[in-house]
Every structure is written in structure tokens, then in C-alpha cells.
Amino acid sequence: MIKQPVLAELQYFVKSVSLLYKGVPLKDTGALVKSALHLLEDLPSTRDAVFDYFTLVFNNAVKVYMLSAEKNLPDPSVDDEAVQEIHEALERLVTSGPAAWCPLISSWCLKLLGEVCKKHSRRRPPPDIRSACNLWLGCSAIRYLLSLSALCFEKLNDREMDECINEMLAIYGTHTPFFDWVVARLGGCFPLKVISSMLAMGASRFSGEFDQPSESEVEVLSYLGLAHENDLRSALKSTLERENTSKQAIPYLLLLAKASETISQALVTVFLNLHDEKRLQSLKVQPKNWPSNISLPYVLHTVAGLLLKIKKNAIQVTLILAKLSTQHSWCQELLEIMFVELETLVLDKHPVPLLEDIIRDGSREILWSSCTAHVPYVQQVAVRLVLLASFKSNSVFHQSIVYLLSVGDQTLTAGTKPHLNALVRLLGGPHGTSDVPKVRPAFETAFEKILIGHNKKTDCWNILHNLVELLKLERATILGTTLRKVNCIGTIQELLDRVLKIWENFMNHERQDTPARPRTEQDDAKGSPTKEPGKRIKSEHLEPESMDTQEDTANGQRIGNECRAITYQDLIHETVRLTECLDIGKCVTIGTGQTLKLSQLLVKYFFYCLRLSAGGTSVPMGIIPESLDESLNRVYNLLSKHCAHRKAARTAALRELLEGALFMHGNLFGSQSESQAYSFDKPDDLLIRLNQKQGIALNAYRATVLHAGIIGQGPKIPTKKAIGPASEMQNHLLNAIVACCQDVNDHQATIDGFSYVSLLLVEMISPDVMYNGLPWPEEDFIKVTMERDLQIQRTFRHSPILWSILGLVACYRPSLCYCSVLLRALCASALHQWRSKTAETLNGQKTDLMYMTTKLLELMALAQLLPPPLSYLHIVLEYFDGPEIAYVLKECVWNYMKDHVPSPVLFVCDPTGFHWRDPLTSRPPIQYTNPLRNTMQKKLTKVGHLYYQMFVGPELRSPTGSGIQQPQTILQPVSQPVIGGMSDSGLKAGPSVPFGTIPLGPGQEPL
């Protein structure tokens, strides 16, 4: 039985509410609210009537708010005490009361929100969820309802929560779109369940009659997805994997993604997760069960449009589809549809989110790695994307080229070079436009990458090697092809200064990384570089060492099947190969500075190869095995092409070659210094201490202990004589000189080149600047230049390679004329020494003087500076004694050269362009031959056969000296070129030839 106070409260409540429904205003609203709250707590059976009253109160408060909002007035419901008291009472009931109140109150709140929003939104409908939230949350009554609902959701268990969600979605189905903002707002309390329920409900209702789901679904899911991305992805993933909804889920989700950027981005992430988990194949796609208006072409066009609008991870999805094209043909069809639309947008200069991801560096690495894929279609798709992105940003084009140049082929099988295929396609530029980005900035960036990161040897070698392969491929293609139009060769020629800088840096770093070996007895036997007093000496490392460094070994930078570490040696060789691929001097004329730098580097590389050979690394080595002959042939080819077009190039190359052979790399050619190197590591003693060591007995013994040396280290230590150049090393150097000087099309240019070699030798060997002319002075003048002559002789003794160089010069007449001062100095010093008492002949102990004299006469005969019979002096000299040799040198050689200046004027040029002296017109007078004739007559028992050939035979054949125009030979025929003859072909510098190979020429005097 109801208690009397409760009954009175009930009567008062019923009476007051009846008056309200009749439109009679109450005098005390607060008393009615308190009565209703007491009934709700004390008499639960009246809760429906109480909630109806609460609904009336909230409806009135919202109505007042909407009227005020239309007039832009503040919310008057803020001061409504009835609304506040109801909110506080219900909040206490939820937090402190029984748990059974939570479902009831939440259900009432949701229904009331649906009714209020539907009723009042028609007067002022908001355009979207965000506008609706701004409108309704401005009302305090609506805020109280939302807070009560959220508070009730926290107290619900799982079953009650599912019931509450279903009730909310049911209200959403009947009150949409006015209730959308409530679902979006309250869905944040349990977003995963709300989103999953909405997706399941939408997929189950989807029939395909419309092109897309309702706008309210899209807006609610998008609003929840922005705030709860992970929950949206989980809900999408579970929807895809659910078997009972798989028939309609995929087209429904595609249409949702088409309408919402948030859902499409989340769907892409789900696709990538399924691909990473290798679960794509487990999805059951059944196009036959789709609605009739959702066909496969429609889906393909829809997906293509989605890919173009996605801002993140669209590139990854595109590349995955390209990989799947080998299994599913529709993937390739989809991508072709996408590319058609993409190219249209790009050419019309419309923004494309898909390409913006590439421009922002979001997916460049993935795209670049796909450019080197082994699957052709994947590579094609990646390259097309890069080219289309190049329309928006040239940096994408340039950076892609640099990346492909940095890719190595060590992991690829033989014959497959996908990175080069992609590079060639990329260099052609995008189709459909003439505005192709320039290639030069990409090559500049690649070269700068090498200059900055020279320690990253793998990347450096890959760039250089790929450039070499690219240039070779360009040379092999026919005219008019895309690669020829790009003209990579011309572009790199414009950047020749960068290439030369890279080359120089590699040479310097290789020399720094090469550890210095301690000298051994074998090194001393081989010799050391010659250093002449008063000459400019360049200090360089002379011993070849292994090029392996420890920088990349520690980092694991390996390449090749043998896992051999890349060294600076490999980088140097590859840079030279790159230079060889350029048309230096033919198409593009390089500047003077680059010309001189290239000549210097070519010569340095030449000696570098010789050092490697001398160090025992002549066998093919390196990443690309190459023998010494192949490397040297490349140097000869480059020197020949380079020096043939620029005189400055030939000048610089010859100077570097001769300086290197004589001073910097003399040990390669058997040169020897005068004394061993002194050690400067020892601390210097005080001069007073050194003087005290000498004692006081110096003057007493009338002796001196002063010596030529360094104080504290003793006198100069005599060293072994020079061993002379090996035949291979000698030939390498001579071939390099010939490559610099020889011009196939212009023989006069060849003569000028060897004439310059003569002038350089005079400049480097002669220590004085005076008395270096062509004429030979009187014999008495030898006293003035004796010191200089001895110095020149010492230079030839320490650097035997000079004889080979002069022999080469002598073959190209009249180039040796410009070395007259050297020949004069050698002859003067030989004449002086043969006159001394200590001079000995061939049978004696000292043969250096005989060797020098013989070589001198050979050179003069080879260069036709001495006519017959004086040209045979080097043969008969070994049969003479010292005084006889001195007599012949003075009377025959010195006097003849004094009266006949060795000038180029003495030589005539035949129609073939060769210079020579006619023996018939250049026969020496008898005053120059009689001393030799008389000396040989005294030794006819030894030199009779030579005397007949030199004097008797020629006189018998030509009694008058002018009867026979062509030379005749009474010796056996030989296959080698004649020495002193008119032909220059095949002549080489070397030791004296046997007597049997000497031909007899015309113009020889009779007995």
C-alpha cells in the first residue's frame, strides 16, 4: 500500500502535469520537479510518467534554445533550474543507484535525442555532422542528455552495451540524418563496436540499386574514422574476413571508399596489412554474387579512381597490383585504366594525390627499388610513375636517375640488368610532351655524390660502372633512337671537369691509403728515383702496393662472386674507362685547363699501371679483371686522341712523361741515385759537439776529414750502378711517347712532337741556360762547359732510359738536332776521359766509357748526323785503343760536327713526307775521314773486312762519287729496317746491331 506522503506526491504530480498539458503555466516549477524525482526514486512504477514529464521539460528547453539561436541570442536554458535539477538527479541515480537504472536512462536519453533532433532540425537543418555538433552542443539540455548517455555507457556490461548499440542504430535508422551527429558523437565511447555494427548493417542492406551508400553512413563512419583510425581499420578488416557478408561486403566497401577519403585511406592500410600477412588469397571474392549493376569493369574503374585520390600508400598498392598481374589478368587491366586517367590529369595539369606522395618523398624508395625489379611489368609501372611525377617535380626525375646509377648488379644474374633498362627508359623522358627535364642536373648530382662520399666505394663504383655501360649502349644504338637524342656522352663531356676532379681525388686517396714499405736490399738493387741537383723534383710514392683498404671492409661493402672489397684501384680504372667512352676533342672542344688536367692525369695513370706491374700485380685483377696490356692500350688510345687535337695537350703530356721517367718514377726504368737516402729521423747534434769529435790533430797530420755529406751521418754512401730499363718497361714508355707525338694524318705534326721531346730533354737534363745552341764550338771551349758536360754525362749514367728515348727521337729525323747540346756534352766528356791515363778499352775492367761512346755514335748515325763512313764508327770503335779513340773522336766526329752544324736545314723532305740526308750530297771531305782511314790501316789484320766495306767497296762502285744514284748492298739481306737509311718505318731505339745488318750506301770514298 502506498504511503500517505508518496500518495500526496503522486496526486500533486498528476494534477500539475495535467495543467501543463492544458497550457496552464505553473507557479512553482521547482516543486514539480522535486515531486517527480521523489516519485522516480520511491515509486518506480511511475517512471514512464516521470520520464514523459522530463521529456516535456527538455523539449521546452530545446524549443527556447532554437528560437534564441535563430535570433543569434545566448542559450536561455542555461538558467533553467528544472533542467539542471533533472540532470543532477539522474546523474546521482546512475552513479549511486542500482545498475538497472543505466539501461533505462540511456534508452530514454537516446529516444529523446532522436525526437528532439528530428523535430527541431527541420526548421534549421545543418549541412553536415560537424555543423550539427556545433549547433546542438550549444544547448545545455542537449549536452546534459549526451553526458547522461555517456555515463550510462560506462556502467553497462557487454550484453547491455550490444542492446544499447542496437537501439541507437535503430533510432539512427528511423531518425537519419537528424540523428547522425548523435551516433558519431556517442560512437566514440565504443568506436569499434559502433563502426563494426554500422558496416555489418550497411552490408546486409546493400542491394546495389544505388551507386553509393547513404550520405549519413558515410558521414558517420568518416567522423568516427578520423578520431579512431585503428578501430576503423579493424572493423574494415573483420568485415572483409567475415564469410557470411563476403558476397556484398567488397562492393559495399568500395562504394564507401569512393564516397569517403577517410574510409578509402583506411581500406588501403587494411589491404597492405593483409598483403604483409599473406592473407589476400584467403579473401573470398565472388563477383558472380554481386548485384547486377556492380560489374567487374565498373569495379575496376572505381578502384582506379580510388588509387588516384589516395594520398598515402597508394604507390605501394599500385606496385602490389603490378606484382599480382602475373597471377590475375584483371590487375594489369586495372593499372592500365588508372594510367590512362592519370596521364589525362597530369597533362591537363590537375592535382593528383597519388603523385603528391612521390613528390613528398613518401614512397620514393619503394618506387625506386621496384624500378630494378626482375618482373618486367613491375619495372614498367614504377618507371611510368616516376616519369609522370616528373611533370610535377623535376627533382623526382633527377633523383631517380641518381638512384638507378647507384644500383649495382652484383646480385643479378648474368645478362640481366634491370636497373639499366629502367635507366634507359627513364632518360627518354615522359611521353606526350616536348618539355622533357634536362639530364645534366642528374649527372651533376651523381658526380657530387662521388666527390662528397668517396669513402662509400661501392656507390662510387656503381655510378661509374653504370655510366660506362650507359655510354657504351648509347654508342651501340643507331641514330635517331631515344638514347641518342638524350646525348649522355655530350652531357658528361660538359661535366668533364667533375670527372677529372673525381679521377684526381681517387689517385690522391689511393696514394694516401698505400702504406709505405720498408726498403729492402731488393729495392736497392732495383734502384731509386734519380734526383739531379738543381732540378725540380716531385715527391710521390714510388712503390706499388695492394689497393685493398680497410674502410669498406669494416662496413661489409662487398661486390662480385668472390666477395672482393672494392678498392681505389677499381675506382681509378673505372674512371679511366668512363673517360675513354667520351669523344674528347672530336665533338666538344674542352677548355685549356681541362686539357692540361687530363694530360696530367693520363700520365699519372700510366705510371700508376706501371707501378702495379712492377709490384707483382700484372695478372688480371679487380672487379672487372683486366691485364696490364689492356690498361696501357687504353692509355695509349686516350693519349693519341687527346694529343692529336690540342697542341697544349701534347705539350703537357710529354712534359709529364719525361719528368716522371727521369725523376719521379726512375726506379721503374732502372735508374739509380748517387747515394742512399739519409735518415732525418735522428736528432741533430750540436755543432760544438761535432767539432769536439774531430779532435785537435787535424793540422798536425796535414790531412782533412771534411767530406761531402751530412754532418753526423758520414760521407755519401756509394751505390750500385744503374741496371737499366727492362725491355717491357722501356717499350711501355716509348709507346706512350709515340702515342703523344704521332699523328697519322700529318707527318709534320709527328716531327714537331718529337722535336718538342728533344727540347724538353735539353731543358730537363742541361743544368745551364746558356750554351745550349745547336753549333759545336772549338775544342778549347770544352773547358768552359766541362762541369755541365760531366753533369749531363752523370745524368745519362744514372738514367739509362735516356738512351732509349734519344734512340726513339733519332728515328724521327731531324728531331735529334735539337739535342745537339746533349750530344756535344757526351762527346766532350768522352773525349776528355779517353785522353786520361785511366781510360781502358773493351778488354779492360771499366766498360762504362766504351758503352757511352758507342751509344753516342749509334744515335748520331741513326739520326744521319754522321754520314758514311763516319756512321760506322760505333762498329769499329771496339778495336781501337784509348788514344786512338780520342784521336778519332776529335778529328772525325768533333771537327765534322763543328764545321757541319746539326741543323734541320741539312735534311730534305721526300714526297712521302720523310726527312733524310742524301749520302751522295752529304759525303764528308777527306780531312774528316783520313784520320779514321789511317787508324784502321794500322789495324788491317783486325778490321780489314770493315775497312773494305767502309772505304774500298764504295769507291769501287762509285769511282767519281756520282755515277750511281741508288745504294747497293753487298751484305746478306736482312728483314729489319736499316740504320741510317731513308726509311723511318719500324725503327726502334736499342743497343748496337750486329755488323751483318749494316748496309753499304752510296757515296763512300775510294781508297
Three-state DSSP state, 714? strand
Which of 141-155, 601-615, 618-632, 993-1007 shows the lowest mean pLDDT across its residues? Answer: 993-1007
Q: What is the mean pLDDT of residues 339-359?
A: 85
pLDDT at 695: 59
pLDDT higher than threshold 50 for residue 966: no
Q: What is the tens place of the pLDDT at every residue in 910-920?
A: 777 677 777 76
Which is more confident, 800 or 287? Answer: 800
pLDDT higher than threshold 70 for residue 145: yes
pLDDT at 258: 85
pLDDT at 615: 64
First to last CA, the chain: 174
pLDDT at 718: 52
pLDDT at 337: 92
pLDDT higher than threshold 50 for residue 992: no
One DSSP character per residue, 770-816 reads SS-SSS---GGGGGTTHHHHHHHHHHHHH-THHHHHHHHHHHSTTGG
* 206 and 219 Cβ atoms separated by less than 8 Å: no
CA distance 533 to 535: 6
Q: Residue 437 to residues 387, 418, 422, 468: CA-CA distances in angstroms? A: 10, 22, 16, 22
Angle subtended by helix axes 329-347 and 314-324, to nearest 10 = 140
pLDDT at 735: 94
* 585 and 653 Cβ atoms separated by less than 8 Å: no
Which of 319-328, 640-649, 688-697 shows the lowest mean pLDDT across its residues? Answer: 688-697
Q: Torsions phi, psi of 346, nearest 5? A: -70, -45
pLDDT at 448: 92
pLDDT at 518: 41
The answer to the question of residue 615 being in a domain is: no
Which of 135-144, 458-467, 795-804 shows the lowest mean pLDDT across its residues? Answer: 135-144
78 — pLDDT class (breaks 50, 70, 90): low
Cell numbers 528530428 label which residue?
118
Q: Report the mean per-residue pLDDT for the chain.
A: 77
CA distance 610 to 613: 5
Which of 48-62, 567-581, 685-699, 911-925 shows the lowest mean pLDDT across its residues? Answer: 685-699
pLDDT higher than threshold 90 for residue 600: yes
Which of 290-294, 456-460, 542-546 shows the lowest mean pLDDT across its residues? Answer: 542-546
Q: What is the tens place of the pLDDT at every residue in 869-906?
A: 888 898 998 888 888 899 999 999 999 888 888 888 77
The answer to the question of residue 59 being in a domain is: yes
pLDDT higher than threshold 80 for residue 511: no
Q: What is the mean pLDDT of residues 532-543?
A: 39
The answer to the question of residue 569 being in a domain is: no
pLDDT at 71: 76
pLDDT at 704: 44
805 — pLDDT class (breaks 50, 70, 90): very high
Q: What is the mean pLDDT of residues 756-775?
A: 86
pLDDT higher than threshold 70 for residue 490: yes
Q: Looking at the 3D structure of the chain, how many domains does it have?
A: 2
Amino acid at 762: V
The answer to the question of residue 345 being in a domain is: no
Which is more confident, 988 or 453? Answer: 453
pLDDT at 1007: 26
Kind plus residue range of the DSSP H or E element containing 653: helix 647-659
| Count of C-beta atoms within a 10 Å radius of residue 794 | 15
pLDDT at 699: 46
pLDDT at 901: 84
CA atoms within 13 A on the CB side of 908: 9
| End-of-domain residue from the set 904, 928, 953 | 953
pLDDT at 426: 87
Closest of 174, 264, 176 to residue 216, by C-alpha: 176
pLDDT at 444: 92
> Best-predicted range by mean pLDDT among 18-27, 495-504, 508-517?
495-504
Q: What is the mean pLDDT of residues 824-834?
A: 91
Cell numbers 763512300 label which residue?
1004
The answer to the question of residue 913 being in a domain is: yes
Q: What is the tens place of the pLDDT at every residue in 256-273?
A: 888 888 888 888 888 888
Q: What is the tens place of the pLDDT at every residue in 939-963?
A: 888 888 888 888 887 777 765 543 3
- Residue 782's domain comprises 774-953
502 — pLDDT class (breaks 50, 70, 90): very high
pLDDT higher than threshold 90 for residue 604: yes
pLDDT at 734: 93
Q: What is the mean pLDDT of residues 763-770?
A: 84
Q: What is the tens place of the pLDDT at every residue in 622-672?
A: 567 778 888 899 999 999 988 888 889 999 999 999 999 988 888 888 887
pLDDT higher than threshold 80 for residue 60: yes
pLDDT at 331: 87
* 335 and 322 Cβ atoms separated by less than 8 Å: yes
Which is more confident, 682 or 465? Answer: 465
547: Cβ contacts below 8 Å, ≥ 6 apart: 510, 513, 514, 567, 568, 569, 570
CA distance 499 to 443: 10
The answer to the question of residue 281 being in a domain is: no
| End-of-domain residue from the set 167, 189, 211 | 189
Which is more confident, 387 or 201? Answer: 387
pLDDT at 429: 78
Instruction: For 340-353, give the secondary structure using H, E and C.
Output: HHHHHHHHCCCCCH
CA distance 649 to 750: 14
pLDDT higher than threshold 80 for residue 86: yes
pLDDT higher than threshold 60 for residue 574: yes
pLDDT at 210: 58
Residue percentage of the chain with pLDDT more than 70: 77
Instruction: For 83-96, give the secondary structure using H, E and C.
Output: HHHHHHHHHHHHHH
616 — pLDDT class (breaks 50, 70, 90): low
The answer to the question of residue 483 being in a domain is: no
Q: Chain centroid to CA 211: how far?
A: 52
Q: What is the tens place of the pLDDT at every residue in 551-565?
A: 444 344 444 444 468
pLDDT higher than threshold 90 for residue 4: no
Torsion of CA 822, 823, 827, 833, to 10 degrees: 40
Per the structure block, which three cell numbers stand in for 337? 585504366
| End-of-domain residue from the set 171, 189, 207 | 189
Helices (H) and strands (E) in the chain, counts: 46, 6
The answer to the question of residue 322 being in a domain is: no
- The strand pairing partners of 915, in sequence order, are 909
Q: What is the tens place of the pLDDT at every residue in 227-261?
A: 888 888 888 888 887 754 456 778 888 888 888 88
